[in-house]
Chains A and B, each alone.
Chain A
């Protein structure tokens, strides 16, 4: 409890046990968080962004075909302005090429995107590759 007199408040000297219990639990939580952060800060190596792409689905859309994919960054650094280029290859020839840009792919995170193709991807081979990134 806090008593308020003339807008200055004085903490009570005989607090209820629940205040101490809350305080101790909070102290443990904060200590655990700081300990975890400290452990990770020391143990986790700094690695550059490492991007990998996994195609999830191909389906018809109003403007051709939508190829949805996941992009994962396994590095411990975030990549910004990640350009991904999707190519549709038929008989060894690139017949369609479309880019998409992700604002960010956070460190050790996954995010989703999609590329549209006018031609049916089933007729050829799709290649979706990260082209580059900048540091945030």
Chain B
């Protein structure tokens, strides 16, 4: 009898924890995806972007969410099965939040074609689902953070990629990004790329944020620069290329023009990558 009440209480608390997790997921999705939900270019991309690229983005997002869930998750996820379940839940929250917000803003109407409706929702659900996943980590309790935790090198690079993807999804679809690339000379691009690298290194190692990284006094500064900052910048640039390609921003341009737009987008990407190292 006593056993049964205890297990019922357990069920109750697990259920309410799950509901809290869902609530945090919705909050995270809104926090992170609202800028994109309210960006004109994102609505247009929803109907004109190539369907195979949209599909690729949609599918790429699944392993990304699973790995992210494995690391932060809604609840303390231990196994990959739990991580997969959390990823599905986050994707569901992302899709539902996108539908509700897009509909509330009058962007989904009955007279639109199915392809336009689905395209808009699918595109917005990617950042919204990442936001839903991060909602747990950023808005939730930090109970397990005091214990010693080691981040393997590859997951450090992966987290930088997630941070970079997140900020590039915000900026890649906007026209401002392309206008900047058109206005800049190659000298400007050179300065922006040096600035990105310097900020990336500075944010993580120099300014001592909570969650920042430090070096042993006897390690020279360039060790971390070569092992973390430069690979991080390469990851950020690679993510920028992917984002530009998915949003059809590369066009039929010469290599140097493409490089300039990649560096422009690489600036927020690099900051996103550095931010991810601090936060996640």
Q: Which residues of A contact B (CB under 8 A)?
A: 1-11, 13, 15-16, 18-20, 22-24, 26-27, 29-30, 33-34, 36-38, 40-41, 44, 46, 78, 80, 104, 106-111, 136
Contacts and interface: CB of A to CB of B under 8 A. Distances in A.
Contacts of A109: 251-254, 257
B148 A5 contact: yes
B193 interface: yes
Given A16-B153, A37-B193, A107-B257, A30 B234 contact: yes
- Sorted from nearest, which 8 A-B pairs have the closest CB atoms? A108-B254, A78-B182, A41-B186, A23-B226, A109-B253, A26-B230, A110-B252, A26-B231
Interface of B: 145-146, 148-153, 156-157, 178-179, 181-183, 185-187, 189-190, 193-194, 197, 210-216, 218-219, 223-224, 226-228, 230-231, 233-234, 237, 251-254, 256-257, 259, 263
Contact of A19 (B181, B185, B219, B227): B227
Given A37-B190, A80-B182, A106-B251, A4 B215 contact: no
A111 B223 CA distance: 45
Contacts of A22: 153, 157, 227, 231
A22 B234 CA distance: 10
Contacts of B226: 20, 23-24, 26-27
Given A26-B231, A80-B182, A109-B251, A9 B145 contact: no
Contacts of B157: 22
9 contacts: A2-B151, A6-B146, A18-B153, A37-B259, A41-B185, A46-B185, A104-B178, A108-B253, A109-B253
B227 A15 contact: yes
Nearest to A39: B186
Given A2-B150, A27-B230, A30-B230, A9 B211 contact: yes
Contacts of B186: 37, 40-41, 44
A8 B214 contact: yes
Contacts of A8: 210-214
B149 A4 contact: yes
A110 B251 CA distance: 8
A34 B190 contact: yes
Nearest to A10: B214
A111 B156 CA distance: 40
A106 to B, nearest CB: 5
Given A37-B189, A109-B257, A136 B151 contact: no
B153 A19 contact: yes
A104 B182 contact: yes
A109 B219 CA distance: 47
Contacts of B216: 10-11, 13
A76 to B, nearest CB: 9
Given A26-B234, A30-B197, A44-B186, 20 more contacts: A2-B150, A3-B150, A7-B211, A9-B212, A10-B215, A11-B216, A11-B224, A20-B226, A26-B231, A33-B193, A34-B194, A36-B259, A37-B256, A41-B186, A78-B183, A106-B178, A107-B253, A108-B253, A108-B256, A108-B257
A90 B275 CA distance: 64
Contacts of B257: 106-109
Given A2-B156, A7-B145, A107 B254 contact: yes
Contacts of A3: 148-150
B227 A38 contact: no
Contacts of A38: 190
